[in-house]
Chain A
Amino acid sequence: DVKVTQSSRYLVKRTGEKVFLECVQDMDHENMFWYRQDPGLGLRLIYFSYDVKMKEKGDIPEGYSVSREKKERFSLILESASTNQTSMYLCASSPESLGNTEAFFGQGTRLTVV
């Protein structure tokens, strides 16, 4: 069974802390994504990566960075957490192709910044 695993289901951090959200996939997928989901705003793409050490900004990259040192792992970094980064964070992966593929999502990490 294919799997995208996010390291934490719930996380509480203090304002100003550096926060790491980890995502691992076991499907040997080339593409990996980070989204955040907020009530009324839906899912918004933060960053994505189409290969190791490669990254592209999504729609809302401000305040975030990412790291992809290994194919199976994609990390989202909040350099200095702020309360407006309180959200549900979702990781996804998909294989490289001409686009005719499905994406697999993790269960999400609900981050609260206090």
Chain B
Amino acid sequence: DAKTTQPPSMDCAEGRAANLPCNHSTISGNEYVYWYRQIHSQGPQYIIHGLKNNETNEMASLIITEDRKSSTLILPHATLRDTAVYYCIVRVVGYSTLTFGKGTMLLVSP
């Protein structure tokens, strides 16, 4: 029972912005949107999370639509090291576990 929908793969040129979409049309009011990424042969790495406001940190920006049914992760200047699988996850406040979908494989090319 998928709670998020992401494209299976995306390409991006090095130095350009990578915009990764995620649909979560059944999101509840008490669910956060989390983004993780997994570089090949490594464990997943936290990127960013948000509830309803847009968020930015040193890694990325998260844009959540006003109805909260979709979001976009933005890597402003993608590098080759950003090549990874990116997971969008919705998670209930107070609930500890993360349920991973299949994510988006982002390939950053020179």
Contact = CB atoms under 8 A, between A and B. Distances in A.
Given A42-B101, A42-B103, A107 B32 contact: no
Contacts of A50: 96
B45 interface: yes
Contacts of A90: 43-44
Contacts of B92: 99
A43 B44 contact: yes
Contacts of A4: 43
A108 B42 contact: yes
Interface string A91-114: 010101011101111111000000
B32 A100 contact: yes
Main secondary structure of the interface of A (DSSP, over half): strand
Interface residues of B, number: 22
A105 B44 contact: yes
A88 to B, nearest CB: 9
A99 B46 CA distance: 14
A48 interface: yes
B53 to A, nearest CB: 13
25 contacts: A4-B43, A31-B96, A35-B100, A42-B102, A43-B100, A44-B100, A45-B97, A48-B96, A48-B97, A96-B96, A98-B94, A99-B32, A99-B91, A99-B92, A99-B93, A99-B95, A102-B34, A102-B46, A103-B46, A103-B98, A104-B46, A105-B43, A105-B45, A106-B43, A107-B43
Interface of A: 4, 31, 33, 35, 42-45, 48, 50, 58, 90, 92, 94, 96, 98-100, 102-108
Given A42-B102, A102-B34, A104-B46, 12 more contacts: A33-B97, A43-B100, A92-B43, A98-B94, A99-B32, A99-B94, A99-B95, A100-B32, A102-B46, A106-B43, A108-B41, A108-B42
